[in-house]
Amino acid sequence: MDFLRPTTWEEALAAKADQPEAVPIQGGTDVMVELNFDVRRPVALLDLTQVAELREWSMTGGHCRVGAAVPYTMVIEELAGPLPGLAQASRTVGSPQIRNRGSVGGNLGAASPAGDSHPPLLAAGAVVEVESRERGVRMIPAAEFYLGVKRSALEPDELIRAVHVPPATGPQYFSKVGTRNAMVIAVCSFAIALHPRERRVGTGIGSAAPTPRRALEAEELLAAELDWEAPLDPALLRRFGDLCARAAAPIDDVRGTAAYRVHAIGVMARRTLTWAWNDHLGKRAA
């Protein structure tokens, strides 16, 4: 097995262009598990850990640009202000060791329907920055990035460089059901982001469909009927939960049944909207 070790982004793109079958490795918390269990035996590994810029984040053009290698620990410690939904989700990932090594870019690269960063990225309206040597940069909205179970819009010669996330302008929440409180892959999860300036609510469903996805009809319902000055109407809250549950398309598997997941998505949708709405009204009153 070849081990490619670029030290600059340009070298990394060149290596991927010359050897598209090379498997990128960042924190290795997914890749090493697959190698250890012989799930895959790549001809080459493309180690990105020496490309320093991937571990940086910045505020540019009104967006928070999070480098692909930024680990969960950094999201929690440095980005909880502008990206509260992603930070909450990051706190639920694995253990401290996994959060130190595991990255948001690696979560995107793996494109597992159960990845915890996907629902908050969808709810916030994030855009994934990918690049190839031949075709340059592509900006892919998170909602178009996930194509199937562990399949993304990334082409074989492309690498993920960063993810651009609009800083929160309203409350955001993430909720995850697991079989225990830590070191657990989501049975299902849900994220919500209030965008008060646009009078819009973003959603993200995790681990309850072949891909992470938004609950579009539920978002449309709130865009049409939510009164941003008033307490939440219980009937509207119930319809929102029902539409979120209907947006899920889960399967029965070792972690939970499809019926349980549909039920839990409805519950988490109602809960997270209630938490966010209480914050929203509390802020307005303050």
Ligand X SMILES: Cc1cc2nc3c(=O)[nH]c(=O)nc-3n(C[C@H](O)[C@H](O)[C@H](O)COP(=O)(O)OP(=O)(O)OC[C@H]3O[C@@H](n4cnc5c(N)ncnc54)[C@H](O)[C@@H]3O)c2cc1C
Interface residue list for ligand X (CB under 6 A): 23-31, 33, 48, 68, 93-94, 98, 101-103, 105-107, 109-110, 115-116, 154, 159-160, 183, 185
- DSSP assignment of 81-108: TT-HHHHHHHHTSS-HHHHHH-BHHHHH
| Closest distance to ligand X from the beta carbon of 89 (Å) | 8
CB closer to ligand X out of 23 and 222: 23
Q: Are the C-beta atoms of residues 80 and 87 closer than 8 Å to each other? A: yes
| Closest distance to ligand X from the beta carbon of 39 (Å) | 11
| Closest distance to ligand X from the beta carbon of 42 (Å) | 9
| Closest distance to ligand X from the beta carbon of 130 (Å) | 7
N residues, the chain = 286
CB closer to ligand X out of 68 and 262: 68
CB closer to ligand X out of 105 and 171: 105
CB closer to ligand X out of 93 and 218: 93
Q: Are the C-beta atoms of residues 77 and 58 closer than 8 Å to each other? A: no
| Closest distance to ligand X from the beta carbon of 43 (Å) | 13
CB closer to ligand X out of 101 and 214: 101
Distance CA 114, CA 26 (A): 19
H-helix or E-strand containing 191?
A: strand 188-195
Burial string for 21-60 (b: 16+ CB within 10 Å, else e) reads ebbbbbbbbbbeeebeeeeeebebbbbbbebeebbebeee
Distance CA 254, CA 234 (A): 34
The two three-digit tokens of residue 244, written as one number: 């979120």
CB closer to ligand X out of 39 and 223: 39
Query: Rounded to 5 degrees, what angle do the CA atoms 239, 243, 249 make?
Result: 155
* Residues sharing a CB contact under 8 Å with residue 4, sequence separation 6 or more, in sequence order: 15, 19, 22, 44, 45, 46, 47
CB closer to ligand X out of 23 and 201: 23
| Closest distance to ligand X from the beta carbon of 136 (Å) | 15
| Closest distance to ligand X from the beta carbon of 251 (Å) | 18
